[in-house]
Amino acid sequence: MNPKALHKISYGLYVVTSKKGDRINGQIANTVFQISSEPPTIAVSINKQNLTNEFIRDSKMFAVSVLAQEAPLSLVGQFGFKTGREVDKFAGVNYRLTENGVPCVTEHTLAWLEARVIQEVDAGTHTIFIGELTGAEVLKEGTPMTYAYYHQVKRGSVPKAAPTFTPRTEEKPAEKMDKYVCKICGYVYDPAVGDPENGVPPGTPFEKLPGDWVCPVCGAGKDEFEKEA
């Protein structure tokens, strides 16, 4: 069986949020889809170990913020590679609360949807929450971030708790300059691509990166990178 066949399925990239009492939390998710139109229902798949899963099960509410294609990797890292048990994921992030008190990210976001859980499905490591829409708003027009664009163009990485996570297979690099991998989140710095989003042009070797350069996804320093095998 070749698990790479799963990579051919289309996905988006979203921030799924919820609340528990007066606390709020959110995470990156790629498994969000519409179930029906009358009534309008959507579903999300959330790892059982994630704090967001706990919040959704408690409040029976969740919201989805649809990220724009130009959303920076730092925003994905904020919600995808940090835990709400240790940090406030909304620190420094523009957001608003719905009438039901569920947070929605408003920066680099095309639209948000809020839903009330009407059914839970046990999916092994994940819970599929099916919710009926209670609110929705288009914030701006644009192209939504897709999972493929995040990987292939922005060269982002995936946390192990993601439903689409598969271990990286070792591939001999074709470029003469070495690639370096972040030991924290798995982001691969490719000298041929550079990091244009943070002012590093293509063709910049890892050794020539500024001393204060950090991983564009999780914020780890250069000392947390190792040469790709």
Q: What percent of the chain lies above the pLDDT cut of 70? A: 90
- pLDDT averaged over the chain? 89
Same domain for 100 and 198?
no
User: Residue 223 sits in which domain range?
Assistant: 180-227
CA dihedral 208, 211, 212, 215 (to 10 degrees): 50
pLDDT of residue 4: 75
Number of domains within the chain: 2
Does residue 159 lie within any of the structural domains?
no
Note the pLDDT tens digit of each residue in 60-71: 999 999 999 999
Predicted TM-score (pTM) of the model is 0.79
**Who wins on pLDDT, 106 or 167?**
106
Coil, helix or strand for 132?
A: strand
CA distance to 52, 121, 127, 178, per residue, from 160 (Å): 15, 21, 16, 25
For the residues 44-53, what does the mean pLDDT come to? 97
Residue 32 sits in the same domain as residue 119: yes
- For residues 59 and 209, give the distance between their C-alpha atoms in angstroms, rounded to a whole number: 45
Do the domain assignments include residue 88?
yes
Sign of CA dihedral 141, 143, 146, 150: negative
Please give the Cα distance from 191 to 207 (Å, whole number).
Answer: 10
Asked whether 217 and 187 are in contact (CB, 8 A), the reply is yes
Q: Is 167 a domain residue?
A: no
Peptide bond preceding 205 in cis form (omega within 30 of 0): no
Q: How confident is the model at residue 156 (pLDDT cuts 50, 70, 90)?
A: low
Q: Are residues 20 and 124 in the same domain?
A: yes
Structure confidence at residue 8 (pLDDT) = 78
Q: From 134, 145, 77, select the one nearest 110 (Cα to Cα).
A: 145
